[in-house]
């Protein structure tokens, strides 16, 4: 009998499909799962991991990240590996570091995504090559951002694109897809893309159709016009004939709480005639740049960074305005450029979205934010500890499916997201009684507890264990 590289014995295996956990022996050879055997089989292996009392699952796929440059700057990716994440999807919310003509001046909003202003890539392949050269520990799949295409093709972002500009964005998108981009993301709530019209997005998404590549969208409005914005995204997907994935699905603002009941029903209804997905992070507060417009929505706003007044980090906008003796809007102006946590969501809504059968887990963490939202380091253990074990909101099998098998299917990552013979050995071993997020707003980079071991393509995470992934053909 051939000797395997590794045997993991005694674990309760949750295979990523949503099927009930079962005890099994898992054998790994090279980068693959070689065999899944009943307990007590005991085939020969060079290394044996005794895993009684632990859960073995496919490595988690973080479907919503802003790790584009983190893969290059911090390739060991501790924020992700410590949670059991083995694959990250990048280029979300309309932002990607390519394609951008040399010398492009990026808007300030890019600061926390691309911390070095000059670090941009003319070709998408240039970005992917830089990632490969950095040899990250985790696998990655990259989307191209709609706002990035606008910056590359337009002279003025505050208006709809002209037909010529749409054509040049289409050409850039085609090239990026040829280079290996897996789909298009948008961030229609942001200044760079706000003025884009539905037709502009349809025209771009049509370029995705032959590859069945997804349109992943941070929709135009997540508050008062949430329903209209969901409708627009579904329309874009239908008209272009592409899958639509809703990013960080939620309803912002107290008077909008309850609206996800309606939007999830719209998504369910749409599923009959188009492919739809969504992702969610397991927190009832959000994090993004601090703007006057966002501050006007009210609610508690805690400043996480400010270039002009770093001493205000950790304080609420209300407290800062009191201290400065000005109104909150003026305080926000003086803090620029700045970032904040917004307490605008309702826990019931977060729970409702989390248990939706199409909901995948995405952290949406900002790796270069000096005070990042705790979701950067805590998302996956928080779902498994807080929501599965402590709250009993969903089963362990269902939660793991949302982190593995479901995203692997949505992004067509062949051989990932499952524990079965022949699959890639992306695996996480964790203690279901101990797994917990430890990151908080005041200690945002506390690593999670309870993750015992992680394997990426059959190896312990380290330089070069990750691979550049592509979606398999439709
Ligand atoms: Zn977003």
pLDDT value for 410:
97
Ligand 1 centroid, distance to 93 Cα (angstroms): 4
Distance between CA atoms of residues 433 and 300, nearest Å: 33
Residues in the 5 Å CB sphere of ion ligand 1 = 93, 218
Q: How many CB atoms lie within 10 A of CB 357?
A: 12
Q: Cα–Cα distance between 63 and 279 in angstroms, integer? A: 7
pLDDT digits (tens, 9 = 90+) for 342-394: 988 899 999 999 999 999 999 999 998 877 899 999 999 999 999 999 999 99
Q: Which two tokens stand for residue 82?
A: 């410590």
The Å distance, Cα 381 to ligand 1 centre, comes to: 21
On whether residue 86 sits in a domain, the answer given is yes
CATH code at position 307: 3.30.1490.130
361: which strand partners?
280
Instruction: Give residue-wise pLDDT tens across range 279-317.
Output: 999 999 888 889 998 888 878 899 988 999 999 998 999
DSSP 321-373: HHHHTS-HHHHHHHH-SEEEEEE---HHHHHHHHTSTTEEE-----TT-SS--
The rounded Å distance from CA 353 to ligand 1 centre is 16
Residue ranges in 180-213 assigned as alpha helix (H)? 191-194, 198-205
Q: What pLDDT does 344 receive?
A: 86
Smallest Cα–Cα separation from 139: which of 417, 353, 336?
417
Q: Do 239 and 369 reside in the same domain of the chain?
A: yes
Q: Of 91, 93, 102, 94, which is closest to residue 128 (Cα–Cα)?
A: 91
How far does the centroid of ligand 1 lie from the alpha carbon of residue 342, in Å? 13
Q: Is residue 260 assigned to a domain?
A: yes
Report the largest interatomic distance among the alpha carbons of the chain, rounded to a whole angstrom: 78
* Residues 111 and 242 both lie in one domain: yes
Give the residue from 353, 373, 393 where a domain finishes: 373
Q: Is residue 405 part of a domain?
A: no
Q: Tell which of 327, 344, 361 closes a domain.
A: 344
Cα(288) to centroid of ligand 1, in Å?
Answer: 8
Give pLDDT tens digits for 208-237.
999 999 999 999 999 999 999 999 999 999
CB 244 within 8 A of CB 236: yes
Question: Are residue 268 and residue 351 in the same domain, yes or no?
Answer: yes
In this structure, is residue 465 part of a structural domain? no
Same domain, 313 and 252: no
Residues 238 and 100 in one domain: yes
What is the band of 118 on the pLDDT scale with cuts at 50, 70, 90? low
Mean pLDDT of 112-118: 74
Per residue in 150-198, pLDDT (tens digit) is 999 999 999 999 999 999 999 999 999 999 999 999 999 999 999 999 9
Same domain, 190 and 311: no
Strands 139-142 and 144-145 come out as: unpaired
With 0-12 / 13-18 / 19 or more C-beta atoms within 10 angstroms meaning exposed / middle / buried, residue 52 is: exposed
CA proximity to 314, closest of 301, 325, 299, 304: 304
172: in domain: yes
Are residue 297 and residue 218 in the same domain, yes or no? no
Higher pLDDT, 110 or 221: 221
User: What's the pLDDT tens digit per position in 450-462?
Assistant: 999 999 999 999 9
Element (H, E) at 306: strand 300-306
Residue 125 lies in a domain: yes
**Alpha helices, H only, 195-314:** 198-205, 226-240, 259-270, 292-295
Amino acid 132: pLDDT: 97
Number of domains observed in the structure of the chain: 2
Q: Which helix (H) or strand (E) holds 384?
A: none
HSE-up (13 A, CA, CB side) for residue 78? 5
Which tokens in the block code for residue 133? 């050269």
CB 135 within 8 A of CB 159: no
Residue 234 has what pLDDT?
A: 98
Residue 187 lies in a domain: yes
Domain for residue 297, yes or no? Answer: yes
Give the rounded percent of residues in the chain with a pLDDT score beyond 70.
100
199: CA distance to ligand 1 center in Å?
A: 21
Whether residues 324 and 359 fall in one domain = no
Task: Indicate if 202 and 315 belong to the same structural domain.
Answer: no
Q: What is the pLDDT of residue 117?
A: 67
- Residue-wise pLDDT for 401-430, tens only, equals 999 999 999 999 999 999 999 999 999 999
Q: Are residues 143 and 236 in the same domain?
A: yes
pLDDT at 245 exceeding the cut of 70: yes
- Domain containing residue 333: 286-344
pLDDT at 203: 98
Ligand 1 centroid to Cα of residue 255, in Å, is: 21
Query: How many whole angstroms separate alpha carbon 242 and alpha carbon 275?
Result: 7
Same domain, 182 and 295: no
- Whole-angstrom CA distances from 180 to 131, 420, 449 are 12, 27, 35
* Dihedral pair phi/psi, residue 53, rounded to 5°: 85, -5
Average pLDDT (16-36) is 98
pLDDT score for 105: 86
Q: What contacts 435, CB < 8 A, 6 or more positions away?
A: 381, 384, 385, 389, 448, 449, 450, 451
Q: 351 and 339 share a domain?
A: no
Whole-angstrom Cα distance, residue 464 to residue 81? 13
What's the start-to-end Cα distance of the chain, in Å? 38
* 7-24 per-position pLDDT tens digit: 999 999 999 999 999 999
């Amino acid at each position: 009998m051939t000797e395997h590289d590794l045997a993991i014995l005694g674990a309760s295996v949750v295979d990523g499909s949503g099927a009930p956990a079962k005890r099994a022996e898992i054998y790994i050879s090279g980068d693959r799962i070689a065999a899944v055997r009943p307990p007590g089989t005991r085939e020969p292996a060079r290394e044996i991991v005794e895993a009684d009392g632990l859960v073995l699952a496919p490595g988690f796929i973080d479907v919503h990240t802003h790790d584009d440059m983190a893969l290059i700057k911090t390739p060991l990716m501790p924020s992700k590996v410590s949670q059991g994440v083995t694959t990250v999807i990048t280029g979300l919310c309309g932002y990607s570091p390519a394609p951008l003509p040399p010398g492009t001046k990026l808007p300030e909003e890019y600061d926390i995504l691309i911390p070095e202003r000059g670090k941009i890539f003319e070709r998408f392949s240039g970005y992917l090559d830089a990632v490969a050269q950095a040899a990250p520990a985790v696998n990655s799949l990259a989307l191209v951002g709609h706002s990035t295409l606008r910056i590359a093709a337009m002279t003025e972002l505050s208006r709809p694109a002209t037909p010529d500009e749409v054509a040049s964005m289409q050409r850039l998108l085609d090239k990026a897809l040829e280079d290996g981009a897996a789909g298009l993301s948008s961030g229609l709530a942001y200044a760079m893309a706000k003025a884009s019209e539905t037709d502009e997005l349809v025209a771009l998404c049509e370029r995705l159709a032959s590859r069945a590549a997804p349109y992943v969208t941070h929709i135009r409005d997540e508050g008062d016009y949430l329903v209209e914005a969901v409708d627009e995204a579904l329309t874009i997907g239908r008209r272009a004939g592409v899958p639509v994935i809703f990013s960080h699905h939620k309803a912002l603002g107290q008077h909008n709480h309850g609206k996800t009941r309606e939007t999830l029903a719209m998504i369910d209804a749409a599923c009959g005639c188009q492919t739809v997905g969504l992702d969610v992070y397991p927190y009832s507060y959000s994090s993004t740049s601090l703007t006057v417009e966002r501050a006007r929505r009210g609610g508690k706003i805690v400043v996480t960074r400010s270039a002009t007044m770093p001493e205000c980090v950790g304080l609420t906008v209300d407290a800062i305005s009191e201290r400065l003796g000005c109104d909150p809007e003026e305080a926000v102006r003086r803090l620029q450029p700045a970032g904040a946590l917004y307490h605008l969501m309702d826990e019931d809504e977060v729970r409702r979205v989390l248990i939706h059968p199409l909901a995948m887990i995405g952290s949406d963490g900002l790796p270069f934010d000096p005070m990042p939202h705790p979701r950067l380091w805590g998302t996956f253990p928080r779902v498994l500890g807080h929501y599965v074990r402590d709250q009993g909101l969903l089963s362990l099998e269902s939660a793991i499916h949302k982190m593995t098998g479901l995203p692997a299917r949505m992004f067509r990552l062949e051989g990932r997201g499952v524990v079965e013979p022949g699959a890639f050995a992306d695996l996480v071993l964790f203690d279901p009684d101990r797994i917990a997020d430890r990151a908080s707003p005041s200690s945002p980079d506390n690593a999670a507890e309870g993750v015992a071991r992680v394997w990426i393509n059959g190896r312990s995470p380290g330089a070069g264990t990750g691979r550049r992934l592509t979606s398999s053909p439709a």
